[in-house]
């Protein structure tokens, strides 16, 4: 099931995609929180959405938003989670966070809820005073059920679905502040979408392929099997000390090929087009403004 939030001619709505149509399951007041409600409601809520889906609109007639436009909490992100990217970042001169090239434990940071934007939205690169905007295509994991102390063996039972995320970053701010929150939490620096694909539609998440293009030039290509710390490990690690809630979002890390991997770095400029695609999850496109 492909879960979406979107704008119609009459206001916000949420629902799912059926063929080339958007099926409306919630609209008007509260629609921006409807997907969170669906996740919290579990299987019964999803069945209700399917059975009670209302009017339909051609997908071409709606504007897709981030599937969870207003997350309950900051987006959890994993740094340096592909071997080649870990080496790329370590040797770039911008990694002030650690002494080791390949992390021995997951590196976890967050992006502010206000950094979330949707497919087609302009990423406000002008907010970065250092003009060092970079891209990071990633797979996002959506937590489906409240969990604490989850083992790797049971971790995937708590996944609701998957979404594309672009962890846009100001590299100079990331470096200057010796941590990553400020450089990555800038308003609009977390494009997400175009939909959440529910976990039951993904037989093997490790087989998914991620590709990032900048102005039509391929920069990143990797399979999720290349992660240093896989999704069950991330959920086990995080839930060991904190409760994960329905609707929490975990961005699993980016592969090699980011802008600072070039000599000199190839930062994004106004008008540049970012395009991230993942098998079955559609395409997330955004422009730098």
Q: Which residues belong to CATH 3.90.850.10 in the chain?
A: 75-288
Q: What's the mean pLDDT in 272-277?
A: 98
How far is Cα 226 from Cα 204, in angstroms, rounded to an integer? 13
The residues near 63 (Cβ < 8 Å, ≥ 6 apart) are 6, 7, 120
| pTM confidence score | 0.95
Q: Rounded mean pLDDT of 272-284? A: 98
User: For 75-288, which CATH class?
Assistant: alpha beta
Of 250, 73, 241, 77, give the one whose Cα is nearest residue 148: 241
pLDDT tens digits, one per residue of 208-239:
999 999 999 999 999 999 999 999 999 999 99
**Cα separation, 85 vs 187, whole angstroms:** 25
> Residue 226: its pLDDT value, please?
94
Tell me if residue 118 falls in helix, strand or coil.
coil
DSSP H or E segment with residue 288: strand 282-288
80 Rama class: left (phi>0) / alpha (psi -120 to 50) / beta: left
3-state secondary structure 211-279: EEEECCEEEEEEEHHHECCCHHHHHHHHHCCCCECCCCEEECCCCCCCHHHCCCCCCCCCCCEEEEEEC
| Torsion angles phi and psi, residue 288, rounded to 5 | -80, 130
Q: Residue range 72-77: average pLDDT?
A: 97
The answer to whether residue 96 scores a pLDDT higher than 70 is: no
Q: Are 269 and 206 in contact (CB under 8 A)?
A: no
User: Which residues in the chain are classed under CATH 2.30.30?
Assistant: 2-64
The per-residue pLDDT for 90 is 62
Kindly state the percentage of the chain with pLDDT values over 70.
95
pLDDT at residue 98 is higher than 80: no
Residue 111 near residue 186 (C-beta atoms within 8 A): no
The correct CATH number of 2-64 out of 2.60.40, 3.30.1540, 3.30.310, 2.30.30 is: 2.30.30
Are residues 206 and 230 in contact, defined by beta-carbon separation less than 8 angstroms? yes
> Is the model's pLDDT at 277 over the cut of 90?
yes
- Mean of per-residue pLDDT scores for the chain: 94
């Amino acid at each position: 099931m492909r879960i979406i939030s979107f704008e119609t001619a009459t206001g916000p709505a949420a629902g799912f995609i059926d063929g080339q149509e958007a099926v409306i399951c919630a609209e008007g007041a509260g629609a921006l929180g409807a997907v969170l409600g669906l996740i919290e409601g579990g299987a019964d809520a999803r069945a209700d959405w399917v059975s009670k889906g209302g009017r339909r609109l051609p997908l071409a007639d709606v504007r897709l938003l981030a599937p969870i436009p207003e997350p309950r909490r900051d987006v959890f992100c994993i740094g340096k989670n592909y071997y080649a990217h870990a080496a790329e970042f370590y040797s770039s001169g911008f990694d002030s966070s650690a002494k080791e090239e390949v992390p021995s434990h997951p590196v976890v940071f967050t992006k502010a809820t206000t950094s979330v934007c949707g497919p087609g939205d302009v990423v406000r690169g002008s907010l970065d005073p250092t003009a060092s905007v970079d891209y990071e295509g990633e797979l996002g994991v959506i937590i489906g059920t409240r969990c604490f102390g989850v083992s790797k063996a049971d971790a995937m039972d708590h996944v609701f679905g998957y979404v594309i995320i672009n962890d846009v970053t100001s590299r100079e701010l990331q470096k200057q502040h010796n941590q990553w929150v400020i450089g990555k939490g800038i308003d609009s620096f977390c494009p997400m979408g175009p939909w959440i694909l529910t976990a039951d539609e993904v037989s093997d998440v490790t087989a998914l392929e991620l590709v990032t293009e900048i102005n039509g030039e391929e920069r990143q290509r990797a399979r999720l099997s290349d992660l240093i710390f896989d999704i069950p490990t991330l959920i086990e690690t995080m839930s060991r000390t904190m409760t994960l809630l329905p609707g929490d979002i975990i961005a699993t890390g980016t592969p090699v090929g980011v802008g600072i991997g070039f000599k000199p770095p190839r930062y994004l400029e106004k008008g540049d087009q970012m395009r991230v695609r993942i098998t079955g999850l559609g395409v997330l496109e955004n422009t730098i403004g």
